[in-house]
Structure 1
């Protein structure tokens, strides 16, 4: 482990706190459907999801490298910039957790990073080509999630049309254990890497690391932080995502989890930090829309969409305030 001191140590601690809050805030992404369909108990779901989050974090470091070097210039930012970005994202996560809104921790982190970097170094500190790629992926991933969830649900409905309802319930209750595990693993594969990228950014900008290769201790500590956060469970968001958007049965949970996990693993492999929250929420909407459009509770959905729109600017504003405060202390 590298020698850490002063503000760099604060940055690492904040990054781990962010990962913990990410796991806590986003535990619904991995467990909401399997809990709402009563396939497993909530306590079992969060513990298994926490372990699989840790395992998924070791899958790749492509997303971490993108976050660490593809959005802002490591040589143009300071430890205060990174600390402010993390502080803004953490505050946003806790505010939306209290409100029970499944907003994106990824959007909060990206918004905080860009907001603090712009305040510190202006447009020269931001890599707009990389930021554009990330934003495009964040916008498109929910559409892919919706489409894949809808198509999977149509296929399953057609294949199992003549299967007795009781048999289908038993079958998909078992299959949902697999899909929920798949979702929890993919959640760790994508989301845990974001804090890894932030710590790596801080280490490179401080001159501790010559390149943006993610150290093993960073991977391990971020994986554990996210796993612990998931194991705590953000129950308000679990209720919103699993019960208030559309009424789910095991077959719907299986289709939603499988569709979202496909999108998340694909983007993790490419190295794009998309929102797991947006992806699973839109997939749940796609699955519900197969029943009929009125099966989706669009009033709740509009509230969620409004929170999504405010996440990037909201976290950026909070990070800017944190940076201005830290600047006065230095």
Structure 2
């Protein structure tokens, strides 16, 4: 096409469509640059806003404590400890929220925003309504000496709180879900050793905690794998998956409602109600029946709109999975809020009475409030990173696998409580994710061995198109492709678990010495 310019001469130009394409391409590039700048600005704003909000909360906790505590020579230590306790609560929320919400988010059953909202509400509700049943268990069970004076005991608790918070904060930054309970234990051990020597620590309790490093993830992983194998054999491998789902999904929901009824009775509501095991079992049977009766027509109605495919069948587990995650968050708030406020409550009682024996007798509501608000703030401000790691970066999850992992967490805690075994909820939850991942890997390996299709034809890899079957079989790249669990996360998380207690203990010992030199 030729057009005339203002000089009257003719020149050759692209056609109209070409001009529009070029203009659109330039506009798209400009819009992408603007969008990239906006995303970078938003990320920078969030990275600055989150620590700022957390700092405001810590200052608020200290100011609140200054108005609440009675006048005493040790009141200034309570004010400092309030800020440290708030800092620990934020870190507990940031790290532990991944245990409950990671599988739900990773399976796409719920969005990140929805998970954070549900977790914040149920964590705070659990902490306020049922939290703090035993606020000084760690100190009482780990410290054998009862002759600590008031100042020494407060320094031990402050060092334990600050050291455990620092370690959990570091673990969150590097993306390692660790046991906050073990961090507090390590903090108490380190400060207790520094202040009172070897005789000040109850070493049999430390041995039980070390045993939980193996018991918790293995038991959680095995139970999660067993449930996934049952679901696979009863539904996923059936030709008529829809009819199988109509029969079996209500049964699995009944198991979930019964287990969580027992879980809440024995672990989530212990501050307001402590039933015995016969009562808890009766409650479990009753709620299992209720869950089965209610879910049968709902599952049947929902299945009428689905196709006979595993992806569609998995959506039947979406709502039960969200409910399980919410109940796990409630129970977590009720139990693990003590990791943040237990030592702080001991400090408050000791500062008011001047003796160690009175520590932990009462739990003021304002102390519990600091823990509840800190948990919610921590998970909202800093929780998404760990949620993505647990839910998306260990193994690929769908609603069925995430449901099995969540159910495994509750069952494992119940079994451990009945047998008196020390377990960590963090280790159990992550172990459940590993368990379903390794079972998928086992099924994948077995399927390839039985399949008549050559191994080298199962993967699209341009570098191996001309390879012989022997070369493909010996290829490390092929082997890695068949691994459905990322090994680096297995070893990295396991290493973080093992060093949590000694690392927190070492930090706590240093913090205690600094407190003695500067404050004491």
TM-score in same-fold range (> 0.5):
yes
Aligned-residue offset at 1:205:
3.9
Per the alignment, residue 70 of structure 2 pairs with 3
Cα 1:307–1:133 shift into 2, 3 Å: closer
Aligned-residue offset at 1:65:
4.0
Per the alignment, residue 517 of structure 2 pairs with 328
Relative contact order (alpha carbons < 8 A, sep ≥ 6): 1 or 2 greater?
Answer: 1
Per the alignment, residue 400 of structure 2 pairs with 251
Correspondence for 1:79 among 131, 151, 154: 154
Quick check: 1:20 aligned with 2:102?
no
Contact residue 350 and residue 359 of structure 2 kept, 8 A: no
Give the secondary-structure state (helix, strand or coil) at the position aligned to 1:70.
helix
Aligned-residue offset at 1:68:
3.8
Correspondence for 2:497 among 286, 304, 308: 308
What pairs up with 1:53-72 in 2 under 5 angstroms? 53-57=123-127, 58-59=129-130, 61-72=132-143
What pairs up with 1:137-156 in 2 under 5 angstroms? 137=212, 139-156=214-231
Correspondence for 2:321 among 166, 176, 180: 176
Deviates more, 1:269-278 or 1:42-51: 269-278
Aligned-residue offset at 1:252:
0.7
TM-score with structure 1 length normalisation? 0.89
Give the secondary-structure state (helix, strand or coil) at the position aligned to 1:247.
coil
TM-score with structure 2 length normalisation? 0.58
Per the alignment, residue 109 of structure 1 pairs with 184
Contact residue 90 and residue 379 of structure 2 kept, 8 A: yes
* Consecutive unaligned residues in structure 1, runs of 5 or more: none
* Consecutive unaligned residues in structure 2, runs of 5 or more: 1-67, 242-307, 443-482
Per the alignment, residue 96 of structure 1 pairs with 171
CA RMSD of aligned residues (A): 2.6
Aligned-residue offset at 1:35:
1.2
Partners of 1:257 and 1:95 in 2: how far apart?
26
Cα deviation code 1:52-108 (max 9, x no counterpart)? 112223435455342242122464352111111111111112212221122222222
Quick check: 1:128 aligned with 2:203?
yes
Partners of 1:184 and 1:304 in 2: how far apart?
21
Give the secondary-structure state (helix, strand or coil) at the position aligned to 2:130.
coil
Per the alignment, residue 299 of structure 1 pairs with 488
Partners of 2:323 and 2:311 in 1: how far apart?
19
Per the alignment, residue 110 of structure 2 pairs with 40
Q: How many residues align?
A: 330
Give the secondary-structure state (helix, strand or coil) at the position aligned to 2:142.
coil
Per the alignment, residue 435 of structure 2 pairs with 286
